[in-house]
Amino acid sequence: QKEVEQNSGPLSVPEGAIASLNCTYSDRVSQSFFWYRQYSGKSPELIMSIYSNGDKEDGRFTAQLNKASQYVSLLIRDSQPSDSATYLCAVNFLTGNQFYFGTGTSLTVIP
Amino acid sequence: DGGITQSPKYLFRKEGQNVTLSCEQNLNHDAMYWYRQDPGQGLRLIYYSQIVNDFQKGDIAEGYSVSREKKESFPLTVTSAQKNPTAFYLCASSIARQGLSGQPQHFGDGTRLSIL
């Protein structure tokens, strides 16, 4: 069983809409969750970190964490064509210092 | 500016040849990582190091080797034993865990390796 799972997409939303990206993780003690954005041919860049249950907002981005249900999500409000990229979910479990990445969700924002 | 520098950006390997990918960071980070990314796939961990002179194998270490002689540097050698080396290689670093919270990784720009 994979440690971290994401729908590969592609996910298409019209410009100005809300894009919702989801990630589930395996049943282990987990503490730290991260969302990265990766443009085609580029390296991942950190968007959000979230450590406790609930919502965390940063500009147009909101990360939501629900440890009881083992999922973390990323909402992008007022989606822009420049948000078109692959979004990677990463989890750092309490045991060890490895990060486990999902395979990513491809998002396309249609002008 | 602090950051992670990977070189070269593009690298070509001949059959039977070992090649070394460079990764240098000036962020004073303790931990460093090497990942491989194949088209349309996620990141797979090759090796990681949490401290100088110590490193651990990741999920796909066969055919690769690393060293960590300095805090700033974590070079990756792709040996001739790695039969399918064509991929995008990413180096990352992070500070040490803060209590129970893991700290985010930051990535270099990557090296694209191809077979001639």
pLDDT per position as a tens digit, B34-45 = 999 998 788 999
CB contact under 8 A, B110 and A32: no
Nearest Cα of chain B lies from the Cα of A27 at a distance, in angstroms, of 17
Residues B8-16 have a mean pLDDT of 91
| Closest residue to A46, CB basis, from B40, B58, B104 | B104
- Quickly count: other Cβ atoms within 10 Å of residue A22's Cβ: 16
Higher pLDDT, A2 or A93: A93
Interface of B with A in 41-60 (CB under 8 A): 41-43, 45, 48, 50, 58
Q: CA B44: distance to chain centroid?
A: 11
Q: Which of A61, A88, A67 is nearest to A7 (CA)?
A: A88
Residue A27: what pLDDT?
65
Which residues contact residue A20 at a Cβ distance below 8 angstroms, ignoring those fewer than 6 apart?
A73, A74, A75
Residue A86, both tokens: 């692959």
A80 lies within 8 A of chain B by CB: no
Residues B20-32 have a mean pLDDT of 95
Residue A92: what pLDDT?
86
Which residues contact residue B65 at a Cβ distance below 8 angstroms, ignoring those fewer than 6 apart?
B76, B77, B79
Residue A95: what pLDDT?
67
Q: Which of B89, B59, B31 is nearest to A97 (CA)?
A: B31
| Residue B36 and residue B87 in contact, taking contact as beta carbons nearer than 8 Å | yes
Task: Determine the straight-line distance between the first and last CA of chain A, rounded to whole angstroms.
Answer: 38
Q: Answer yes or no: is pLDDT of B83 > 90.
A: no
Q: Answer yes or no: is pLDDT of A78 > 80.
A: yes
List the single range of A45-49, B74-78, B112-116 with lowest mean pLDDT. Answer: B112-116
In the DSSP assignment, the letter for residue B10 is: E
CB contact under 8 A, B107 and A43: yes
Residue A98: what pLDDT?
77
Residues A7-19 have a mean pLDDT of 93
CB pairs A-B closer than 8 Å: 50
In the DSSP assignment, the letter for residue A101 is: E
